[in-house]
Amino acid sequence: MKNLKKISFLLLLMAFAISCASMKDKNTISGKVQSIEFGKDGYTAKISTAKNEVYFATISIVNVGGPENYKKIKEGDEVSVKGEIWKSEEENHIKVTQIISVK
């Protein structure tokens, strides 16, 4: 009986970990930077994905966790970012909490 409880707990824990891992991918976008508009404490990058979707990525020092995580990107860069995604009317937006890669 004790082994059954341990196995059940491990299966539940693994299911939770897999569930969390798959949720993270939904909040990640990758694409090419089309334009940059600078603001007070950061900038908004217009990113086109491989699926021809356009996202307006708001990138600020505060949202990425401080100056050590903040990177300036430029037009033409291939980027991958993670954050909170939402839609406003016809536009896709993402508040970037992590800059995964810049090429």
User: How many angstroms separate the Cα of 39 from the Cα of each of 36, 42, 76, 89, 94?
Assistant: 10, 5, 19, 22, 16
Q: Could you tell me the pLDDT band of residue 3, with boundaries at 50, 70 and 90?
A: confident
Of all residues in the chain, what percent carry a pLDDT higher than 90? 68
Q: Could you tell me the pLDDT band of residue 22, with boundaries at 50, 70 and 90?
A: very low
What is the spatial distance between Cα 63 and Cα 57, in angstroms, rounded to a whole number? 12
**Each residue of 45-71: pLDDT tens digit?**
999 999 999 999 999 999 999 999 999
Reported pTM: 0.73
- Got the DSSP string for 8-45? HHHHHHHHHHHHHHHHHHHTEEEEEEEEEEE-SSEEEE
23: pLDDT strictly greater than 70: no
Q: Does domain 28-102 have CATH number 3.40.50.10470?
A: no
Q: Where are the domains of the chain?
A: 28-102
